Amino acid sequence: MHELPVTESILEIALRHGAEAGAVRISAIHLVIGQLSSIIDDSVQFYWDMISEGTLAEGAELRFRRIPAVFLCSDCEKAYKPEGEDFSCPRCGGTRVKLTSGNEFQVEAIEVETDDAS
Amino acid sequence: MGREAVVTKRIPLKEKILSANDRLALENRKLFDEAGVLAMNLMASPGAGKTSLIEHTIRALSENNRLAVIDGDIATSIDADRAEAAGAVAVQINTGGDCHLDANMLRGALAELSLAEIDLLLVENVGNLICPASFQLGTHKTVLIASVPEGSDKPYKYPVMYRGVDALVVNKIDLLPYVDFDMPYFQRGVEILNPGLACFVLSCKTGEGLDAWLDWVRNEIEARRQGSR
């Protein structure tokens, strides 16, 4: 359970880029989380509400985009989402497989409000 | 209307969530490289035998190498005391509840060591198969220590940990006759996640299989010496 340091990192990234953009408020944070990144959304949200208080990002909406794990079989070149505990290829039974997505752990974008001075 | 309009815009970032930790990990790596230290991050569940393996490694390698150990635990200095008794310089980090070491904690502990006087640094992470996998420390090698009583399904249950390591130790094989541990099933899981992974099947209790592990560590130290010359 390391949701607190993860949430602190998300806040740090959002505030740094928000300040650079001259934001008066950060309204949303878009997160991309692969299936193999063990993070609990509700827990991040819980910490977020606490630690974002009083910052530019207070009340910002956290949007989680989950990416399923996809493997590619090196033997028969089938791309598949593993089912159950066995990650081997469902077509040929091969075990020489590569993960092509599911490892993501990113702040994809933030939405900020700026005063339009022009 | 006399009121400034508020403009909403989307700023694309694509920044890794743990990028701050990753940056500090790179700085740690630089410290190791400048001092010519080989650093290893040892991870395992509680009770797999991290400290026992470290004790054996210290006793076997201390004659020709200068060893240091950094121990991460939620509380107590039991592990650092054991490493010191075995003959290494040891520093204890108490994480105070955190379930893993991160690059910043490690950096704090590095300040207590004279890196230029060390050949091999073993970092004993907090016993946990989930969180330590996400936090890079800047070490050159990551090693996972599994043990037979944990059961052979662990690669399937903790794929992220098994995917990310450079070497795997399977400890406590003296217990194989007494527990249901399906070695082919275990190895198949490992092979899918981490093909060609260096694997050392051993017992810290009887000493069986330890030589292959020690040779691997010796070779890694030697390779680092050659590389830094």
Residues B107-164: tens digit of each pLDDT: 999 999 999 999 999 999 999 998 899 899 999 999 999 999 999 999 999 999 999 9
CA A64 to chain centre: 6
ipTM of the complex: 0.86
Record the tokens describing residue B97, joined without a space.
């509840």
Whether residues A87 and B159 touch (CB distance < 8 A) is answered with: yes
Mutate which: B1, B10, B17, vs A, most A CBs within 10 A: B17
Using DSSP, state whether A92 is helix, strand or coil.
coil
Confidence of residue A118 (pLDDT cuts 50, 70, 90): very low
Q: Does A12 touch chain B (CB under 8 A)?
A: yes
Kindly report the CATH number assigned to the domain that includes residue B188: 3.40.50.300
Confidence of residue B5 (pLDDT cuts 50, 70, 90): confident
Domain membership of residue B9 (yes or no) is: no
Domain membership of residue B8 (yes or no) is: no
Domain membership of residue B11 (yes or no) is: no
Range of the domain at B113: 19-228
Domain membership of residue B196 (yes or no) is: yes
Domain membership of residue B123 (yes or no) is: yes
Domain membership of residue B6 (yes or no) is: no
Domain membership of residue B13 (yes or no) is: no
Q: How many angstroms separate the CA atoms of B105 and B95, rounded?
A: 8
Nearest by Cα to B170 from B39, B53, B86: B53
Structurally, chain B folds into a number of domains equal to 1
Domain membership of residue B170 (yes or no) is: yes
Residues of B in contact with A27 (CB under 8 A): 8
Q: Does A112 touch chain B (CB under 8 A)?
A: yes
Whether residues B9 and A116 touch (CB distance < 8 A) is answered with: no
Mutate which: B3, B4, B15, vs A, most A CBs within 10 A: B15
Residues B21-61: tens digit of each pLDDT: 999 999 999 999 999 999 999 999 999 999 999 999 999 99
Task: Give the Å distances, CA to CA, from B65 to B88, B206, B225.
Answer: 10, 24, 11
Give the H or E element holding residue B143.
strand B141-147
Give the CATH number of domain A3-113; options: 3.30.2320.80, 3.40.50.300, 3.10.20.600, 3.40.640.10: 3.30.2320.80
**Which among B7, B156, B191 has the least Cβ separation from residue A116?**
B7
Q: pTM score, two decimals?
A: 0.91
**Domain segments of chain A: what residues?**
3-113
A83 versus B193: the higher-pLDDT residue is B193
